[in-house]
Amino acid sequence: MKFTRYFLICISIFFWISCGSDKDVKDILSKSDTLLQSNPDSAFTLLESVEELDVLSDETFAAWCLANANVRDVLRKESLSIDYMLRAFNYFKDKGQINEQARIGMFLGHAYNASQQRDKAMNIYLVALDLADRSQDYNLAGYINTYLADQYKFEEKYNQAKEKYQEAATYFEKANNLRSRVIAMTNTGFMSFFLKENDNIVLNYYTLSDSLALELKDSLVLCMVNNRIGLYYRMQEKYDLAEKYLIKSIEYSESDNIPNYITLSNIYGLQGKIDKSRELLQNISQSESNPEAKAGLIYQQYLVEKEDKNWSKALEYYEESMAYVDSIRSVQAKTDLLEIEKKYTTEKIRNENNLLRLKSQRYFLSLVLIIAITLLLIVVFQLIMRRKDKKIRLQEQVLHQKDMFLVKQQLELRQMETELSKKEYELLNRRKVMQEHHTLLEKQNSALELREHEIEKQEEELRMQEKEVEALKNDVNSLKLKVLQNTAISKKIIKCAQKVTVGTDDGKSLLSEADWTSLLNEVNAVYKSFTTSLQQAVPELTFEDIRFCCLLLVGLETKELSVVLSINPSSIRQRKMRIRAKAGLTNAQTTLEEFLCNL
C-alpha cells in the first residue's frame, strides 16, 4: 500500500507540471484578447512571450495561433509559419467552430501567400470563403474576397479581380462595414478602368464610392477615392478635373501626399506650366524629410528640368535623386540584415530553450523512474525476506519430507532447462527476422536508386521543354515583326527610312501625327495593348519615349531611325540608353528590342 501511494504521488506531480504550461498560456490568451482592440502592440508582445509551444496541447496551441494571427493581421506583421498554421487549421477543422475554421483558413492563406505558394493560398482562401459564407460572417467573407481579388490582380486577371471586389462590396454591405465597402467599390472601378470599360461605368463606381465616403466622413478613404478619380482623369487627359480631385485628395489627408504632388507636377508639365510644376516640387521637397519621398520628388524635378531642356539642372537633380536612392537601398539592406539576424537569434534562443526543456524533462522522468524502481526493489526485497522466513519455517516443519523436496527441485531444474530451450528458440527467430529486415532494406535501396535515375531523366526532359518554349517565343516575336512590317504605316516608315540623308538633329520627324497614331494603333493590335503594358511596366516613360519604342518594334536600324526622326544616329543611341535606364536594363543582357517584344 505504501508503494502504491508513493507511485501515485509521483505521477500526480508529473501531470501537474505538464499541465501548468497550458494554464499559463490560457491566461496570456485571455489578457491578449482584452488588449487586442485598445493596445495591439502589447497584445503581440504578450503572445510572443510564449516560448515552449511544443509542449502545449493541440487545443491551446491552436488558440494561441489564432490569437497571434489576429494580432499580426491588425499590426500588418509577417504571418506565422505554414507549419504552425497547418497544425492549428487541422485542429479547428476537426474540433473548432465553423467561424474559427474560416478565420484560421484565411490566416493559413496569408502564410502560403507570404511564402509565394500562390496556388495553395488561392485554394485555402476559397475554402475559407465558403466557411465564412456558411457561418454568415459577412465581414470576414468580404475580406477574404478582397484577398482573392488582390491575387487575381497580381496575376493580371482583371475580370476575376473585378468580380471578387464586387462580391466583397456586397458582403461588406451586409455586414454594415461602410468603410471597407467604399474601398471595395473604388477597387472595382479601378479594375473597370484596367479593363477599358465604358467611361460611364468607371465614373459610376468612383462617384458612388465618393458619395459613400462623404457619408462615412473618413479622411483617409476620401483621400484614396479622390486620388483614384484624379488619376482616372489624368489618363483621360482631362487635366483640369484631374487637378481638382488631386487637390481635394491632398486636402483630405495631412500626410503621405507625395504621390498626389508628383502627379500634379506631371499634369502641370503636360499643360506646359513648367514654372508652376517646378515651384510646386521645390516647395514640397523643402518640407519633406522622408528619404524615399524626397527621392521621388527630386527625380520628378529632374524630369521637369529635362522637359524644359535645362540639361545642367536636370543632371544635378538626377544625381541627387540617385544619391538618395543609393542611401535608401543601403539603409534597407541594413534593415533586412538586422531583421534576418533577429529572426536567427530568436530561433536560436527558442531551440536552446527547447533543448533545456527536453533535458529538464529527461532529468525529471529519470528521477521519477529511479524513485519508482527504488520503491519497487524495496517491496520486492521485503517480499523475498518474508518468503525466506516462511520457507525456513516450512523446512523446520517438513524435514522428514526431504526426499520429496529433492524431487521437487529436480522438477524445477527440468522446467528451467525447458525455459532455456524456449529462449534459444526465440533468439533464433529474432536472428531470422533481422536477416529478413536486412534483405528488405537492400531492396528499398535499389528502388531508391531507380527513382533517382527517373528524376534525373525528368529534369532533362524539363530542360528540353524550356528550350522549345524559348524557340516558340522567338518564332512568335518574328511572326509579329513580319505582321507589323506588312502594315501600311510600317511600309511607309521603311520607305522613309531608305532615304539617303541621315538625320540632322533638327527634330522634324518625317511622320505626321496621323502616321504616329496609325503606328500606335497597329502596334497595339499586333502586340495586344502594347502601350498600356509599357506604361505599367515603365511608368517613367514620356509619350515621346512610347512613340520611339513603337518605332523600334518595326525593326529599323539606328541609321534608318535617324532618317525617320531627323536626328543624328548618336541621338538614337542616347535615347535607347535613357529608355533602358528607365526600364532597369542598365546591366542586363536583354536588349531593349527583346524587352519590348516580351511585354
**Residue 578, Cβ density class (10 Å: 0-12 exposed, 13-18 middle, ≥19 buried):** middle
| pLDDT tens readout for residues 340-374 | 565 556 556 555 655 665 666 677 677 878 888 88
Tell me the C-alpha distance between 399 and 396, whole Å.
6
| pLDDT tens readout for residues 257-293 | 777 777 777 777 777 777 777 777 776 766 665 666 6
Q: What is the mean pLDDT of residues 12-18?
A: 45
More confident residue, 285 or 451: 451
| pLDDT tens readout for residues 502-528 | 545 555 778 888 989 998 998 898 888
Say what the pTM is.
0.52
- Centre a 10 Å sphere on the Cβ of residue 388 and count the other Cβ atoms it contains: 10
User: DSSP state, 81?
Assistant: P
528: left (phi over 0), alpha (psi -120 to 50) or beta: left
> Which residues have a Cβ under 8 Å from the Cβ of 175 and sit 6 or more positions away?
138, 139, 142
| pLDDT tens readout for residues 123-145 | 999 999 999 999 999 999 999 99
Tell me the C-alpha distance between 104 and 131, whole Å.
11
Contact 172, 216 (CB under 8 A): no
